[in-house]
Amino acid sequence: MITRTMTFRLAAIVSAVASSAAIFTAAPAVAEPPACTDVEVIFARGTGEPPGIGRVGQAFVDALTPQLGGRTVGSYGVVYPASYDFLTAAEGANDAAARIESMSASCPDTRLVLGGYSQGAAAVDMLAGIPPLGNKIGDIGSAPPLPAAYDSSIAAVAVFGNPSTKFSIPITSSVFSGRAIDLCTDGDPICSRGRNPFAHSDYVSAGMPDQAATYVAGLV
């Protein structure tokens, strides 16, 4: 039998729980600013790789870090689907641009390194003003170039297996000229006229992240 005392106690408990829930839900979420390291690598992974900076991106960061004399190095994996629908590269370009803008405002002394592999390299191309193949900047599947105000924020650029290089439009001939390296393994059909499909997954074993790291270390 439920007595009047029990009813009052139950009501008190329900009221206390409701009040606690109100306290927890009332507090607005506060976005934390990005951590400020000496150098940050903003890297767009290749098609089909899991979220993060990908295998090539990680090898690049691992090779770059010991060459920077103890300076702190952070990494940011560009957020985009990296699916087999190549139109998603534009999403990667837009996310990378947003990260550059955020870091420029919150961490102005951090040296930013922009990088990408395969479809991720295509995303970086768009920021350099190189449109996706067969399109123009502004078309569906494209993203606008990085605003000129943030161009000077980029200390160096490193791309691997870049599709536009196959058509003689390397990122080294873009606005990033003089601070960019564009690497293609021998026979990679994605970035050259080669016909070796296995070459496109051979960047780490070919030592190209190390080569890029040495180049970038001289700029940051």
Task: Kindly name the residue from 118, 153, 164, 174 that is annotated as catalytic.
Answer: 118
Domain 39-217, CATH: 3.40.50.1820
pLDDT tens track for 8-21: 343 343 343 333 33
Task: Kindly name the residue from 153, 164, 192, 200 that is annotated as catalytic.
Answer: 200
205 is catalytic: no
To which H or E segment does residue 39 belong? strand 39-44
Q: Stretch 113-122: mean pLDDT, rounded?
A: 97
Distance of CA 185 to the CA centre of its chain: 22
pLDDT tens track for 177-205: 999 999 999 999 999 999 998 999 999 99
pLDDT band at 33 (very low <50, low <70, confident <90, very high): low
Task: Kindly name the residue from 95, 125, 182, 188 that is annotated as catalytic.
Answer: 188
DSSP-assigned letters across all residues of 118-133: THHHHHHHHHTT-PPT
Among 132, 116, 134, 135, which Cα is nearest to 124's? 116
188 is catalytic: yes
How many angstroms separate the Cα of 156 from the Cα of each of 41, 115, 176, 197?
9, 8, 8, 28
Residue bearing tokens 């534009």: 90
The Cα 10–Cα 21 span in angstroms is: 17
Domain range annotation of the chain: 39-217
pLDDT band at 138 (very low <50, low <70, confident <90, very high): low
200 is catalytic: yes
Task: Look up the pTM and report it.
Answer: 0.83
